[in-house]
Amino acid sequence: MTDQSCHTDHYAVLGHPIHHSMSPKIHAAFAEQTGQQLSYEAIDVSPESLQTRLTQLPKEGFCGVNITVPHKEVAWQYVKQHGLLSERAALAGAVNTLAWTTEGLLGDNTDGQGLLNDLQQRHGLSLAGKRILLLGAGGASRGVILPLLAAHPAALVIANRTAARAEALAELFAPQRANCVLLGCGLGHLDRLTASAGSFDVVINATSASLGGESITLPTGTLTSDAFAYDMMYGKALTPFLQAQQNAGVRHLADGLGMLVEQAAVAFTLWRGVTPQTQPVYNQLRNDLSNK
């Protein structure tokens, strides 16, 4: 929890570009719901000025900020130099939430917990004992691997176009895998892997393919007949990835709008010490998207 003696409770999301961000609307709704007095704005910060801006913000009365594309890795480096990283942020190599507390600067990554909360609470999906396929080996994947492992799946396979990046991630997180089979591979090896080890119960798309209108076609047999497909991207209609999975016969589909709201709630709780209800905010955002 942040130092409540911050004379003005200012918060913001930093990104570049940032005009599209839903974070101000989300946190305004959380504040109204919980009776918290605060302001939250979107601030466009160029990559070259990020570190200078982070140094200025607490002097301007900011108690915390969210960090989004393309700043998560640079902000991580900043916190490593000037503050303390949570365990999940340290391993992720990226932060999405900063808090200036009485103990100093804290950097956290709430993406993975936000994903888990969405999957487990909103969609009622238990990951224990499941075989999970995580697509992509970038920052989005790094941020969710530790929380996914904490959910005790039977296997977590990271698949990426460049196999070496996926293999490196699996090696990085190997000490945290407990009894989970943790592997990295190339997308081109999925058919052989599935043939030898079995199909997956859950697939999570952590690539940015859907942003560019691209879909990812998985080899036949990659997913079980009752699999759950999840895309961290979201939109008015099904993302290209989810559309491809639906076309392949997958019936359980979800996009990342819930993850967006849930990760924001984890950050809000870190800052304010109160936990907001996420479903009303999720419903409002979903309705807003449908009416665009």
Core vs surface per residue 267-281: b (16+ CB within 10 A) or e: bbbbbbeeebebeeb
Mark residue 61 as left, alpha or beta (left: phi above 0; alpha: psi -120 to 50; beta: remaining): left
At 157 the three-state DSSP class reads strand
Q: How many residues does this entry show for the chain? A: 292
CA-CA distance, 96 to 91, in Å (whole number)?
A: 13
**Catalytic pick from 72, 80, 130, 292?**
72
Alpha carbon separation from 163 to 80, 159, 188 (Å, rounded): 28, 7, 9
Q: How far is CA 26 from the centre of its chain?
A: 16
CA-CA distance, 32 to 215, in Å (whole number)?
A: 38
Q: Is 72 considered catalytic here?
A: yes
Catalytically active residues are 72
